[in-house]
Amino acid sequence: MTDLALDQLRTLAAVVGEGSFEAAAASLHVTPSAVSQRIKALEAATGRVLVRRTRPVAVTEQGAAVLRAARQVDLLLADLVPSVAHPGPVTIPVVVNADSLATWFVPSIAVVADQVCVDVHREDEQHSLGRLRDGTVLAAVAADPGRVPGCTVTSLGTMRYRAMATPGFVARWFADGVSAAALATAPVVQFDRLDDLQHRFVRRVTRRRVDPPHHYVPGSEAYRDAVRLGLGWGMLPDLQSAALEQTGAVREIGERTRIDVRLFWHLAQLESRPLALLSDAVHAGARRHLS
């Protein structure tokens, strides 16, 4: 592979991060034509198509390695010549699951906010590593402990979920206990179509497939409120449900409803002070909030 120009690498990262050539141009303070020319030059230099001209722009499989290199070079330059590479805090793209984002993650990184900026991508904890593999992010909170090439992985701790609902909902739908028949008819709240926590609980109880009525509420706080307002039952993390349970707003739908989700921190293997600061803050926050 021939030498790659720094401005071309930064332009690739901007195009993928911003989602379009126009938005990338605005963030880089250049014209869309300049962005297009840089990407074409980079593709010519590598001999590969690096991005799909879709909306939003998507990196190709071949472009993922170049994007990952672009992210890493930018971080290394921030350490080497911070005043030239970054007049302010360096921005680190990271993927985090919605429940961590709504509970422990943001308070954890607040202590380094004056030194590191984050570009958070939200993704289900079971599917976060795809963003790390394709170079979109440099760090990930994920439930998958599998090693991503070029990255380290360490344990963060466990988020505990329990099947919760309002007392009135439990009295109506689970008066005779949490049975296969009750779970087949009681409405359930799903975060989205990738969320399998409720399915895991149902399979554990029923040992067979059931298809209850579903609400889809794709927002962590909105999901909690949907359960609190009686739309259905759902798996709530203890970090969200503890206060509601104390006031009597929600309760477990039955016994032994617990599902523990172990979380891991995946980090690009780079000697970078901003990356180290972020990682230390995440680990310290996880120790405070996770079990």
**What's 43's domain CATH number?**
1.10.10.10
pLDDT at 200: 92
The tokens describing 247, both together, are 């006031």
With respect to residue 268, please indicate whether it lies within any of the assigned structural domains.
Answer: no
The sign one gets for the Cα dihedral 12, 15, 21, 26 is: negative
With respect to residue 215, please indicate whether it lies within any of the assigned structural domains.
Answer: yes
What is the residue whose two structure tokens read 């909690």? 224
pLDDT at 1: 43
Q: DSSP 3-state helix, strand, coil percentages of the chain (rounded to 5)? A: 45, 20, 30
54 Cβ neighbours under 8 A, 6+ residues apart: none
With respect to residue 99, please indicate whether it lies within any of the assigned structural domains.
Answer: no
What is d(CA 113, CA 92) in angstroms, rounded to the nearest whole number? 11
Write the CA distances from 125 to 143, 195, 232, integer angstroms.
Answer: 5, 9, 23
Q: Are 14 and 27 in contact (CB under 8 A)?
A: yes
Q: Are 161 and 236 in contact (CB under 8 A)?
A: yes
pLDDT at 87: 53
With respect to residue 205, please indicate whether it lies within any of the assigned structural domains.
Answer: yes
Give me the amino acid identity at 54: T
With respect to residue 44, please indicate whether it lies within any of the assigned structural domains.
Answer: yes
Query: What predicted TM-score, i.e. pTM, was given to this entire model?
Result: 0.77
pLDDT at 120: 93
With respect to residue 206, please indicate whether it lies within any of the assigned structural domains.
Answer: yes
**What's 223's domain CATH number?**
3.40.190.10
Count of domains observed in the chain: 2
With respect to residue 286, please indicate whether it lies within any of the assigned structural domains.
Answer: no
The sign one gets for the Cα dihedral 123, 125, 127, 130 is: positive
pLDDT 10s digit of each residue in the chain, 291 long? Answer: 456 788 888 888 888 888 899 998 998 888 989 889 888 888 888 877 888 888 888 888 778 878 878 877 777 776 665 555 455 677 888 999 999 999 999 999 999 999 898 999 888 777 788 888 877 888 999 999 998 888 899 999 999 999 999 999 999 999 999 999 999 999 999 999 888 899 999 999 888 888 899 999 999 999 999 999 999 999 999 999 999 999 999 999 998 899 999 999 999 888 888 899 999 999 999 999 998
Q: Identify the domain boundary among 23, 44, 67.
A: 67
Write the CA distances from 283 to 79, 95, 120, 257, integer angstroms.
Answer: 22, 15, 17, 28
Range of the domain at 237: 159-261
DSSP state for residue 130 in the 8-state scheme: H
With respect to residue 199, please indicate whether it lies within any of the assigned structural domains.
Answer: yes
The strand ranges marked E within the chain are 51-52, 58-59, 90-96, 116-122, 139-142, 151-165, 188-190, 214-216, 234-237, 251-252, 259-268
Residue-wise burial string across 139-168, b where 16 or more C-beta atoms lie within 10 A, e elsewhere:
bbbbbbeeebebbebeebbebbbbbbbbee
What is d(CA 153, CA 146) in angstroms, rounded to the nearest whole number? 8
